[in-house]
Amino acid sequence: MMTNRLLRYFPLLLLLTLLAPLTVVGQATPTGPGPTLSGILAKGEVTCGLNQNLPGFGFLDPNTGVVRGMDVDLCRALAAAIFGDSSAVNIIPYVDDSGLDDLRDGTLDVLLQNYPVSLSLEGTGLAFGPVTFYNGHSLMVENTSGLIDWPNLADATICYVAGSVTEESLLEEMNKRAIAFEAMPMGNLRDVSGAFFSGQCDAMAGDRIELEQVRRGSTDAASFNVWSEPRLMYNQAPFAPLLRYADEQWVGIVEWIFLGLIRAEDLGVSSETVSTLVRRDTEDETAYRARVGPSVSQFLTFTPEWLALPSSFMPTILRDVGNYGEIYARYLGETGDLPIPRSLNALAKDGGLFFVPAWR
């Protein structure tokens, strides 16, 4: 009898069990500033740690003493959203892993130090935010070498740093593709680049950003090419900001601000156009939507309560910092500090990996 009664009510018990966690999660969502955002508001600035030795991302200019790059602008975007002032930042440059401890103890609000997303770091009191740059390994070749695709590497000599992630991933890739080649492992990057530019090896393997730095620093950069097509790259190592684990609101703020930069580029909203696309004082909602379209009007005005940000946070970011495409062009475009073809970092509609969920 007892068994029959339990079976009769099992569907109801199962439904209540499934709904219980949803109720707890809903109750935990803050409606005002959470711990990280409260601390930022109290001190009046966003504290960001980043690399100071990687042109295009974070580079300390010895002439000005100012750190510049894509990661600096991502920090400025956070400040623009929170304070309406992109200059309300405290940039702390790092050359080692001490930024991880400073993030854990609350010295930093976010660490933008070009750490590839990894399983091990997620388990140390930290959480990765959204991917901001899709990096990976590639090959540099001379333009006239004829090495334009993987099959062309048969019997080629490839140099790389011995004992590195590059060696492991390259050997795995060549084995998977059943391509026989002549390996030339060397002690350090300087030796590898010297061997490549002197013609001792046909191709140089390495981190894509590292290869672009080496190419640009050569005496004849235009004569060499780093494979940048997505199908030619291997061992993906995307960069993402690191945050303290368990502050759900702050992780969400960082995520949606970055997604906003991508969404803005997708919609064609930039630092140059945003002033013409914001809602005018004389417009009601119907007239505004009719003028700019429902997607743009929703994007520039909708701010969920749980973010605890000003309703105008996206227009302010775009006015002061620009969208993702503008930031990329500023530092990684043809006239930037480290020109890198967008490739995987293009919008999905242009063959890249960046797409944005509905902004509603």
- The 10s digit of each residue's pLDDT in 179-224 is 999 999 999 999 999 999 999 999 999 999 999 999 999 999 999 9
Confidence of residue 30 (pLDDT cuts 50, 70, 90): low
Q: Are 214 and 178 in contact (CB under 8 A)?
A: no
Instruction: State how beta strands 110-112 and 46-51 pair.
Output: parallel
| Runs of H (alpha helix) within the chain | 2-28, 35-43, 70-83, 98-104, 119-122, 165-176, 189-197, 208-216, 248-267, 274-277, 285-292, 294-301, 313-320, 324-332
Positive or negative: CA dihedral 20, 303, 289, 273: negative
Eight-state DSSP code of residue 223: G
**Distances from the Cα of 23 to the Cα of 272, 288, 308, angstroms:** 43, 36, 21
Give the bridge partners for 183, in sequence order: 158
| pLDDT value for 18 | 37
- Residues 137-232: name the CATH superfamily: Periplasmic binding protein-like II (3.40.190.10)
Q: State the SS3 of 258-270.
A: HHHHHHHHHHCCC
What the block records as the tokens of 11 is 């569907």
Of 3.30.1360.70, 3.40.190.10, 3.40.50.1390, 3.90.550.10, the CATH number of 35-134+239-350 is 3.40.190.10
Decide: 53 and 95 in contact? Cβ < 8 Å.
Answer: yes
What percentage of the chain reaches a pLDDT higher than 90?
Answer: 82
Shortest CA distance to 331 belongs to which of 205, 218, 209, 219?
A: 209
Contacts of 165 (CB under 8 A, 6+ apart): 137, 235
Secondary structure in 3-state letters for 130-157:
CCCECCCEEEEEEHHHCCCCHHHHCCCE
CA dihedral 164, 165, 171, 172 (to 10 degrees): 160
CA–CA distance, 214 with 199 (Å, rounded to integer):
15
Across the chain, mean pLDDT equals: 90
First to last CA, the chain: 50
251 exposed, middle or buried (CB, 10 Å; 0-12, 13-18, 19+)?
Answer: buried
Cβ burial, residue 306 (10 Å; 0-12/13-18/19+): middle
Q: What is the pLDDT of residues 346-359, one digit of tens each?
A: 999 999 999 988 89
Residue 125's pLDDT is what? 87
Mean pLDDT of 301-313: 93
| CATH topology match: 35-134+239-350 vs 137-232 | yes
Q: Where are the domains of the chain?
A: 35-134+239-350, 137-232
pLDDT band at 29 (very low <50, low <70, confident <90, very high): low
The better pLDDT of the pair 175, 28 is held by: 175
Say if residue 5's pLDDT is above 50.
no
Classified as helix, coil or strand, 203 is strand
Q: Report the amino acid identity of residue 147.
A: L
58-66's contacts with Cβ under 8 Å and 24+ in sequence apart are: 58/93, 58/112, 58/113, 58/114, 59/337, 60/93
Cα→Cα distances 143→19, 98, 150, Å: 60, 40, 15
